[in-house]
Structure 1
Amino acid sequence: MNYNFRKANLSEAAAIWTILQQAIIRRKNDGSQQWQDGYPNLEVVKKDIQKEAGYVLTENEVIIGYASIVFNDEPAYADLVGKWLTNNEFVVLHRLAIAEGHLGKGLAKKILLFTEEIALQKNIFSIKVDTNFDNFAMLAIFEKLGYVYCGEVEFRGGKRKAFEKVLKKMV
């Protein structure tokens, strides 16, 4: 398949929002509490894109996945109940979602691997992520990719499991 991972354009916000809405419904159908409080929403997507943090996964130019990637900026991570593996620069990945009809192809994993490439290109060797305690699919992906559980963080009144992966420097 011809996959590309790139920064999103504001004109793509509606398509991205559709993918996120599908993911919100999936989380609800799975019995999860994650994303059931009006977040994320279209305004969040637009802000991601305006801050150049919104990224899309495309297949033959069709948007099939989304994630927000920020550098060294997640205030909630300063209040981790636990201990991070590193205290250096880091990349944060939020709001990862895959479009209906593209599930089960390992695309969430692919987005995480693309995120690692972006981090390494910027000489950043840590990726920090979090997810809801009941997002079993994402928890399994973190485990498969070598993310280490570091503790809990709080977002919008809910506790989330926090993970970090330390990347190897390219030779």
Structure 2
Amino acid sequence: MPAVYMREAQQSDCTVIEQIINQGRAFLKAQGLNQWQGTYPNKDTISDDIARQQGYVLLLDNSVVGYAAVIEGQDPIYDAIENGEWLNSTTNYAAIHRFVISNRYHGQKLAQRLMSCIFTYFIALNCRDFRIDTHPNNVPMQAVITGNGFHLKGHVYINDGQSRELRWAYQIVI
């Protein structure tokens, strides 16, 4: 079995991460979703994640096959939740954004592996509260989210630089 692991993303990973995000963008478009159909996320977003030490890559035999940004602490996107509530009012949580796996590896359970790596890494840092959001019609991502133990907690809105968009918000406390 090939080695699968996560590490902090490096600036040298930007090009491949951007390619994987563009694959994700095309995948979402094929589903008829407007998620990621503008200029967000882009190379500047990724570079900023990496500079802030918030970008993580999933590797399969030393090749980058997935990416996620994980923001520790209060994330303004999650300040206002509608049609529900968070399990707690703590600001000590990890918010997972820009979660994507290369199209080449869809169906191989690598999204679950990346999520497990995120949980393991941040639990070791004493963070046990995780939040994530996705488009209401992004059924594949919802399956990844709920398949990893998250529960729907309500709705949030994101501003992707072009418009204000509704997202379903999920949480797990481990």
Query: SS in structure 2 opposite 1:110?
Result: helix
Matches within 5 A, 1:11-160: 11-81=12-82, 82-88=84-90, 89-156=92-159, 157-160=164-167
Aligned amino acid, residue 167 of structure 2? R
Q: Distance in 1 between matches of 2:103 and 2:155?
A: 30
Contact 1:131–1:161 (Cα < 8 Å) also in 2: yes
Q: What does the per-residue CA deviation read over 1:95-133, in whole Å, with 9 as the maximum and x for residues that have no partner?
A: 011112111111111111111112211111110000010
| Cα shift readout 1:76-99 (whole Å, capped 9, x = no counterpart) | 101111200122311111001111
RMSD over aligned CA atoms reads 0.9
Q: Which residue of 1 aligns with 2:170?
A: 163
Aligned residues: 167
Runs of 4+ in 1 over 3 A off after TM superposition: none
- TM-score by length of structure 2 reads 0.93
Deviation readout 1:52-88 (Å, 9 max, x if unpaired): 0110001111100000011013101011112001223
Cα distance in 2 for partners of 1:31, 1:96 equals 19
Counterpart CA distance in 2 for 1:74 and 1:113 is 21
Contact 2:65 2:101 in 1 (8 A): yes
Unaligned stretches of 5+ residues in structure 2: none
> Which ranges of structure 1 fall in alignment gaps of 5 or more residues?
none
